[in-house]
Structure 1
């Protein structure tokens, strides 16, 4: 019998040879002092993150060297990696990296203006299997805007002082992990504070999305907003405080100020039942509610959470601070919230403290892990 290989004039390749010839993951380096005519190596880095993204293939890591990046066009992420070979964008060996979007359009947008979808986010993501870790993003029209994107990881990031929500995931989006992210000071002059949240997972659906170990504070609207997201989101070890106050002198002021807004929508059809799970979270000193369902009719489960000193709080709930007795300042071991903005532990977790732990030692409310 004549083989297909012989008809094509070449010999079969053994499995061993195939594995040797397989492409290995590549490191691509970018630096504020680099050049896009460089090879993208450690010694000859590129200058543009977008050029690195365009050159990368699934499994590659794009390393950002220390310094400030000031793109004039947002970074478009439109090609997907694989479960076995995700793309990664990371700082290099712990170096301090800031991506500053002040030179982008809509920073900020005019009052009552609309931001075109493609201009939303310093990182605009419509792709799967990407990892973003280890850097800071500020002054963008959103820091990260992910639409119809799945299986992405956002970890150990700082998203601050953006002119819209710090990190927003929407559309048909599943299995995304937001872990050890700090989001603060985000505000939207174009809407007088109506929509800039710390983190938003909204206006869409998709299972398996998780928010864990995040800190959300002093955002103009809500800390975490799940507006019109119709699938369950899991939220763990997340702290939300000081949201919804008019620190930017907007007139009229439109910020809401909930610590955790767990859905809701314009009418009953838009609300959609979503059985969100919220565990071991703290909401305090927000201008509105700590944990609010916002008329979202899902069978939500809230366990071991603490709400304290919010302007108002309203779901299967158990072992939360509001499920047992009355509380006063003396009920807690510490009211010093400054520990929450201290440096994170080496593994990225929030450092344990006695803040808002019951003086009695009762196993109720949030605890530190």
Structure 2
């Protein structure tokens, strides 16, 4: 990759994240269930006699249950549906066992891919489909699904250390009345949507809904057909920290009539107002822009973030009243476009000339798995 990263105050923050302990602070479960590819759904679900299917374990779970998946590839022909509620003190946890690699492969499910112009029934969206509250989904790799993880009207849930890649829609998609959710250390890449010619498959999408207290921290979103991150028509503030978006919006799959947008961070749109905050973000080598308000007229706060080598605009906040502070923009088609209602201090475009910048080879794309703590 020819990209070069110029980090505005981000390196120290990233170093602190890499040194932080893992997010594994859920209360001790009241019971546990184990699943293995060689198990049997007639088994009791113990470590010695595990179940075979994830859905069987999910159906047996109660608040406080931890479902531990043994290593291997699970390839059901219908999606896994998480419809039961945990509680704030007793969430239901679905996770990999120990450090074992667990892949949930949705290739056998309907709509993988859907026909051009078709729609996916809501209940069939996502190789993992979440409609319950207070779930913790940890350490899974979700691939080839009709969406990777699709969460509708979920509250108080945690999506931790997930890989959502090569799905036939967005990697992780949250929608509807959804509040108090945490997305931490997500890797989401290579997602595309042939049925929409690449127009809607994002790395992370929190769209068409509302709900306070949603936080995204430590996500890496790259090589998706549409945008890295998209908050289209979500009308409540979202806090986004230590998140990267690069290489989005290119037609890597030879999709006909390709319509992917190609922004690193898209903060809403269609005139729906919400005051989003982005701290210590980076966007580079996207097909369009780095950070955009996308006609979300809210008062965004963009702090200590970097836009580099995006062919359109590094920071496009000309349709909002936003505050941009200590950001860096270099080698974009246009480094910054802000409206008369926007303000900010300490940004590169007002404090120094980018022509004197020294560039170095990027390392962000090769970071090891990050570990973040909740805020």
TM-score between both structures, scaled by the size of structure 2: 0.83
Q: Which runs of 5+ in 2 are unaligned?
A: 1-27, 317-321, 330-346
Counterpart Cα distance in 2 of 1:195 and 1:34: 37
Q: Which runs of 5+ in 1 are unaligned?
A: 1-22, 266-270, 350-369
Q: What residue is the counterpart of 1:258 in the other structure?
A: 263
Q: What residue is the counterpart of 2:275 in the other structure?
A: 275
Q: How far apart are residue 344 of structure 1 and its match?
A: 1.8
> Superposition RMSD on alpha carbons, in Å?
1.5
Q: How far apart are residue 312 of structure 1 and its match?
A: 1.5
Q: What residue is the counterpart of 1:84 in the other structure?
A: 89
1:32-72: CA deviation from partner (whole Å, max 9, x where unpaired): 11111111000111011000000011000000001000011
Number of residues of Structure 1 aligned to a counterpart in Structure 2 = 319
Q: What residue is the counterpart of 2:15 in the other structure?
A: none
Q: What residue is the counterpart of 2:302 in the other structure?
A: 302
Q: Equivalent of 1:326, from 340, 353, 359?
A: 353
1:56 equivalent to 2:61? Answer yes
Counterpart Cα distance in 2 of 1:24 and 1:59: 5
8 A contact 2:148–2:171 mirrored in 1 = yes
Q: Secondary structure at the match of 1:47?
A: coil
Q: Report the structure number with the largest CA radius of gyration.
A: 1
Q: What residue is the counterpart of 1:134 in the other structure?
A: 139
Q: How far apart are residue 250 of structure 1 and its match?
A: 1.1
Counterpart Cα distance in 2 of 1:161 and 1:198: 10
Q: What residue is the counterpart of 1:344 in the other structure?
A: 369
Superposition map of 1:89-238 within 5 A: 89-238=94-243
Counterpart Cα distance in 1 of 2:362 and 2:326: 23
Q: 1:332 to 1:91 in 2, by over 3 A?
A: farther
Instruction: With a CA cutoff of 8 Å and minimum separation of 6, indicate the structure with the bigger relative contact order.
Output: 2
Counterpart Cα distance in 2 of 1:258 and 1:246: 14
1:304-348: CA deviation from partner (whole Å, max 9, x where unpaired): 0000001112121010003223325x72452324x4234325x36
TM-score between both structures, scaled by the size of structure 1: 0.84
8 A contact 2:217–2:372 mirrored in 1 = no
